[in-house]
């Protein structure tokens, strides 16, 4: 039976700028030129005012942990590829610029993570030119 590898992002024309920036270790988020809000996840139009005038803007990569969970067991086939990572942290990160971002917190023992912990982005190479934004304590 073939081993199932970790799923990777499906890159679309909409999300391609994000992944190109990530491959250069830059975090960019869409910002609405009409009302000024940052929009995440990528959208064709602003989630606040509906404008289609969205521009990709670099953000600091700094944020704080809003909430988290610790994955200690991997169940069923869909989890394969992650079994060597347990225990690991999945967290909602509130970026300093506003958007709430779901990712892993890395370089952090699972018993040390706290809500409100300051974190910064790091980029994890997955192969195939795709770099995943993750966060570490700062």
Chain contacts with Zn ion (rule: CB under 5 A) = 32, 34-35, 46, 48-49, 51
- State which residue, 46 or 121, has the beta carbon closest to Zn ion: 46
- State which residue, 37 or 91, has the beta carbon closest to Zn ion: 37
Closest by alpha carbon to 68, among 32, 94, 50?
94
In the complex, the smallest distance separating the C-beta of residue 54 from Zn ion, rounded to whole angstroms, is 8
In the complex, the smallest distance separating the C-beta of residue 31 from Zn ion, rounded to whole angstroms, is 9
**Rounded distance between C-alpha atoms, residue 67 and residue 73, angstroms:** 19
- State which residue, 44 or 87, has the beta carbon closest to Zn ion: 44
6's tokens: 């970790």
**Rounded distance between C-alpha atoms, residue 131 and residue 134, angstroms:** 9
In the complex, the smallest distance separating the C-beta of residue 59 from Zn ion, rounded to whole angstroms, is 17
- State which residue, 27 or 46, has the beta carbon closest to Zn ion: 46
HSE, CB side, 13 Å, CA atoms: give it for residue 120.
Answer: 4
Closest by alpha carbon to 113, among 64, 61, 72, 79?
64
In the complex, the smallest distance separating the C-beta of residue 39 from Zn ion, rounded to whole angstroms, is 7
């Amino acid at each position: 039976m073939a081993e199932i590898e970790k799923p990777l992002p499906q890159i679309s024309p909409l999300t391609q700028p994000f992944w190109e920036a990530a491959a250069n270790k830059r975090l960019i988020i869409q910002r609405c030129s009409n009302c000024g809000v940052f929009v995440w996840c990528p959208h064709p139009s602003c989630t606040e005012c509906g404008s289609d005038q969205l521009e990709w803007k670099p953000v600091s990569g700094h944020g704080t942990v809003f909430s988290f969970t610790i994955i200690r067991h991997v169940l069923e086939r869909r989890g394969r590829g992650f079994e060597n990572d347990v225990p690991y942290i999945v967290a909602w990160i509130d970026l300093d610029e506003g958007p709430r971002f779901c990712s892993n917190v890395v370089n952090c023992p699972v018993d040390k993570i706290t809500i409100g912990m300051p974190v910064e982005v790091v980029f994890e190479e997955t192969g195939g030119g795709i770099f995943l934004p993750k966060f570490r304590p700062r």
